[in-house]
Amino acid sequence: MSILDDPFQNILSNVSLPAEVEILLLQNIPPRWVQCTLLPTEEDGDLLCLKIQEHEAPIITPFGSKIILHFSDEEGPMLSLRYYDQEDGNLFLQFSQVHQRDKRSFPRHYGNIPLNFLTVEQEQMELVSKQWLEKTIDTDNRWSTPEPFMNFSLGGLSFEHSTPIPIDKPMIMEMSIGISSNLWRATGRVVRCIEINKECFDIAVEFNSLPEGALEELSDFTLKVQEALL
């Protein structure tokens, strides 16, 4: 049986193809938007075929990695897809899930992101991040733990901290997402530090390295938060 079942084929049958679309590559750090054209599909086909626009950089992503698609004219549904293959500028994706159209975007939201972080000197970051991601070091009493209800997106986090942190300061992070019991190890750098008052600073961090599983949990958590706001 085709993985594009009848309900999905019916959804696409209401969309005029070819159509301009955007895809979000969740495997990229930070996640990357790519402009494409969704081409007509075969009735019994298992794959969607997208023409990558010529100005876009090459797509490098693992087989099976999660990709989000939404229609530029806002007339089609938002789709969760999996990377399958590419050839001659065409991208082939397998269907995974349909989302309501008004949940298509991934802006920043507020939610529960329990976090521990440790800032690292630039000259030590390569070694420390390698040790951290390979799990040869663990958290200790030097680490900071901000209030977990914070601003988040697929590209990074924003939280309040009692002291300023310099822009571009590297850090290693341990985080969980929502009510998930998974603990994820990540690296990042400070991209904003704004004084709220003398004892409180707004810190924004951009992810440099984040596992695909964490990106998937963040995207699912974003959709749940958006659903609760509708």
Summarised one tens digit per residue, pLDDT across range 107-123 is 557 788 999 999 999 99
CATH of the domain at 93: 2.30.110.70
Same domain? For 98 and 19 the reply is yes
pLDDT, tens only, 159-218 = 999 999 999 999 999 999 988 999 999 999 999 999 988 888 999 999 999 998 998 898
Measure the CA angle with vertex 24, ends 20 and 25; round to 5°: 130
From 66, 81, 103, give the residue that closes a domain. Answer: 103
**Residue count of the chain:** 230
pLDDT of residue 227: 62
This prediction has a pTM of: 0.59
Give the structural domain span for 185.
Answer: 109-229
**Do 124 and 211 fall into the same domain?**
yes
Please report the pLDDT score of residue 103 as a whole number: 42
Residue 30 and residue 78 share a domain: yes
Q: Determine the Cα–Cα distance for residues 172 and 141; give it in Å rounded to an integer.
A: 14
Measure the CA–CA gap between 2 and 43, rounded to whole angstroms. Answer: 10
**Number of domains forming the structure of the chain:** 2
Residue 113 shares a structural domain with residue 70: no
Q: 141 in a domain, yes or no? A: yes
